[in-house]
Amino acid sequence: MSLPTPRARRRRGALAAALPAAALLAACTAAPVQVTPARRAAADAAARVAVAAEAGRAVASIPPRTLAVTPFAVSMRDTALAPLAYGLADLLTTDLARSSQLQLVDRLALDATLRELRLVESGRVDPATAPRVGRVVGARRLIVGSLAQPDGRTLGIEARVADVATTQLQQSVSATTPVADILRAEKELAFRIFDALGVRLTPAERVAVEQRQTQNLAALLAYSRGVRYELEGRLDQAAESYLGALRQDPNFERAAERLTGIRPNLLGLSRALDGAAGRLNGNIYLPTLGSAADPAFFPQSVTLILTVTTPP
């Protein structure tokens, strides 16, 4: 996939930012194959039943290769980075699911369970609560992680594998990186977890895990906020955050997938607007060397009104 030019990115960002998020959300309708309210309600109902029946569930009946990743605990100097506890856990889930030897718990089921057990906040699932979460959600192992900022320049990720059957924790695995390169540490952590679980990746699986979703920290932070909002059931805010991530990095595929899941028409509308921006701006000359004080830089302001019509 080719990267858009800086000029194209500026066009996309300028038009997308000019449109109120509320107007974009109002243009969306739900698609039956997506994460509909009915599916979310069914997941919530199933979680209530599972919590009520957890005492009678035999841990031995849970397949040994089932796995779930919960939001990380956070110890941050910069509180603006705290949403990474949700985004990195989600991206780690995506990477671990690349292996055919592991079965990752359905995200809707895990989210509903965390809401039912009131463990949505990062760090609420710890070695003490992990066995209960695993029994309810049907995961033999849980990844219990933490995210710390020892100084203003680096971040450290640590994870332990909690065995629901034995309540024991495997030796922790960790990685440290500069803040701007946090996804490198997430990849390193994923490979160390595979090793801890005794999973050997195929060459194709390894290549898939190595692919970075984005290298834009602002996009990653917006995405992470979206993951947190979606877990909390705040879908409008989640959609706005995923769209914000795509404004920062239009090639952020995971953000596009999550946005499509909760607001399927919003991604298509955003891309249509990107195309419209390119066509509208294609013949407009904007001096790149001038400034507001430069006579060559035209001072006129232009108001652009777009009417967006979507099918019922």
Q: What is the pTM of this model?
A: 0.75
- Domain ranges across the chain: 6-281
The tokens for 192 are 């160390």
Please give the single-letter amino acid code of residue 38.
A
**Model pLDDT for residues 272-286, shown as the tens digit of each residue:** 656 555 555 555 444
- Overall size of the chain counted in residues: 312
Task: Evaluate the CA torsion angle 111, 205, 189, 181 in order and state its sign.
Answer: negative
CA distances, 237 to each of 222, 226, 242 (Å): 11, 7, 9
Residue 243's pLDDT is 95
Give the confidence band of 4 by pLDDT, cuts at 50, 70, 90: very low
Residue 109's pLDDT is 94
Nearest one of 135, 182, 144, 150 to 162, comparing CA atoms: 144
Residue 58's pLDDT is 86
Residue 204's pLDDT is 97
Characterise 300 by phi-psi region: left (phi > 0), alpha (psi -120 to 50), beta (else). beta
Residue 240's pLDDT is 95
Going by C-beta distance under 8 Å and a sequence separation of 6 or more, which residues neighbour residue 189?
Answer: 92, 145, 157, 159, 173, 174, 175
Residue 221's pLDDT is 97
Nearest one of 153, 130, 157, 142 to 75, comparing CA atoms: 157
Residue 70's pLDDT is 95
The tokens for 104 are 């990752």
What secondary structure does DSSP assign to 180-240, as a single string? GGHHHHHHHHHHHHHHHTTPPPPHHHHHHHH--S-S-HHHHHHHHHHHHHHHHT-HHHHHH
3.40.980.10, 3.30.450.20, 1.10.240.10, 3.40.50.10070: CATH of 6-281: 3.40.50.10070
Residue 134's pLDDT is 94
Task: Identify which has the larger pLDDT, 265 or 145.
Answer: 145
**Model pLDDT for residues 242-291, shown as the tens digit of each residue:** 999 999 999 999 999 999 999 877 776 666 656 555 555 555 444 443 44
**Model pLDDT for residues 188-233, shown as the tens digit of each residue:** 999 999 999 999 999 999 999 999 999 999 999 999 999 999 999 9
Give the C-alpha separation, 162 to 156, whole Å.
20
